[in-house]
Amino acid sequence: MNRPIKAFIVDDSAVVRQVLAQVLASDPAIEISGSAPDPLFALQKMQKNWPDVIVLDVEMPRMDGITFLRKLMQERPTPVVICSTLTEKGADTTLQALSAGAVDIITKPKVGLKDFLESGRQQMIQVVKAAARARLAPVTARTPVRRPAAAAPTPKPSGMPLSRTTDQVVALGTSTGGTHALEAILAQLPADCPGIVVVQHMPEKFTAAFAQRLDQLCRCEVREAVDGDRVLPGLVLIAPGGLHMQLRRSGAQYRVGVSDGPRVNRHKPSVDVLFRSVATVAGRNALGIIMTGMGDDGARGLLAMRHAGAHTIAQDKETSVVFGMPREAIECGAAVDVLPLPSMAEAIIRGGRR
């Protein structure tokens, strides 16, 4: 895109609108085309100069952000970035917005807006730029899965290790557009799928709600990882936002370590941190998959997995919302295969049984 990206801000707080406009307009590649206190005013203003990206609050008067987003996706699909306060209470609502078609999340503080101008500036700019390049895919609503009452529960750690536990660990890394990609993949997996560890770039407070939502849609169990959790068949562990996750080996068992630390590639959790640990402790017993997202987090870690003997896959350009992370992995030679999103679930199932 040679011309500046036109961004429109919808938020009921005049102060927030002013701060967001100031942050985004500080980059010459972004132009603020307008702002509005609610979706109805926004629709009137945008008709004259339709934006490339909409930065949208979720709780607003007259029309909430989710209703507005669904209307947009039906009538005039446009990349939308959700701007949400960092609270557990708002996490579920924000995830509903992502499910309705939003591309990514920007977190805004309740206080300390001046500090936010500096601390969050670069991330906000990068998210809006990535959203402008996003490929919008049709959004399909999924029905929550009712697990049979007689189904066997997820095995618990015991003195005797499960022989299959160390056969295969699937490591998934993704960012912008990844919430939809993960939902599409995990919802296709059987209840006895290989043990899966996931890094999805997402702010703290949101990953627990995200894991809970996926758990309702999938036959396998999905939950936010806790330090020491064992990797087991039928279990998907999502790295907590704001913390790194690594794979560890204890005898015949794999477990995850969750810990604080500096950002890696501007992210915490970082895909590279997870992938490097998988390369070290699982080697050829692992399958690594890098999917849609901006930047290069995960590319070098996936290359380390390949060098350690793991099978590695990158999502193709056509099905990626943002072809940044997969492209970097492909260009550095990290990916053995390049596959479209609809083929990923089958690749996981085959990989877990080879």
Residues marked as catalytic:
175, 201, 297
- Residues 144, 216 contacting (CB under 8 angstroms): yes
Relative orientation angle of helices 207-217 and 178-186, to the nearest 10 degrees: 30
How does strand 253-259 pair with strand 244-250?
Answer: antiparallel
Q: Check residue 283 and report its DSSP letter.
A: G
Helix (H) or strand (E) holding 130: helix 121-132
| CB-based burial label for 259 (10 Å; 0-12, 13-18, 19+) | exposed
| CB-based burial label for 3 (10 Å; 0-12, 13-18, 19+) | exposed
What does each C-alpha distance from 57 to 17, 20, 44, 105 come to in angstroms? 10, 11, 17, 10
Instruction: Catalogue the E-assigned strands of the chain.
Output: 5-10, 30-36, 53-56, 80-85, 104-108, 169-174, 195-200, 221-224, 235-238, 244-250, 253-259, 286-290, 311-315, 337-339
CB atoms within 10 A of CB 41: 16
Phi and psi torsions of 16, nearest 5°: -65, -45
Structure tokens belonging to residue 178? 């990844």
3-class SS of residue 3: coil
> How far apart are the C-alpha atoms of 212 and 97, rounded to whole Å?
15
